[in-house]
Amino acid sequence: MFRLIWIVSIYVRSFMRRFMPSNIAITALRTRSGLKWAAPAMLLSVPYLFAASYVMTLVDGGASKWLCAVFLVCIWNALKFLANGIVCTGLLARVRVHERRLQRSAAEAPTVRANQQLVDA
């Protein structure tokens, strides 16, 4: 039974990661070229929070209680974008520091011209 639950959760996660727009965006933000867009992508949490507020207003007004599931998805996506923005900002800082170290070490390395030879005498 535990194995069945484990396998189903793997397939659900795989499906969500490939086909859900918020998960596709977060996966794209985790690449090196996407790290610089992580902080502006945090602003995507605002429409999700607005949608969650609107859905709860509908539920309070007499709409179906099943809309609470939509509310939870909107809140979850807003939190994902907020957390991803914070984490990716830290990752971007770490990557840039690493790139600067590589540039400094490359600049300090001795250069060998085509007509020179390095010989240990």
pLDDT per residue as tens digits for the range 7-64: 999 999 899 888 888 888 888 888 888 888 988 889 999 999 999 999 999 999 988 8
Amino acid at 108: E
**pLDDT at residue number 38:** 87
pTM: 0.73
Query: Half-sphere exposure (CA, 13 Å, Cβ side) for 53?
Result: 7
Burial of 39 (0-12, 13-18, 19+ CB in 10 A): middle
Rg from Cα positions in the chain: 24
Evaluate if residue 119 carries a pLDDT over 70. no
> Is residue 71 a contact partner of residue 59, using CB atoms and an 8 Å limit?
yes
Evaluate if residue 120 carries a pLDDT over 60. no
Q: Which pLDDT band, with edges at 50, 70 and 90, does 88 fall under?
A: very high
Distance CA 48, CA 17 (A): 18
Q: Which pLDDT band, with edges at 50, 70 and 90, does 78 fall under?
A: very high
Distance CA 8, CA 111 (A): 56
- For residue 67 the two structure tokens come to 């809309």
Average model confidence (pLDDT) for the chain? Answer: 88
CA 37 to chain centre: 10
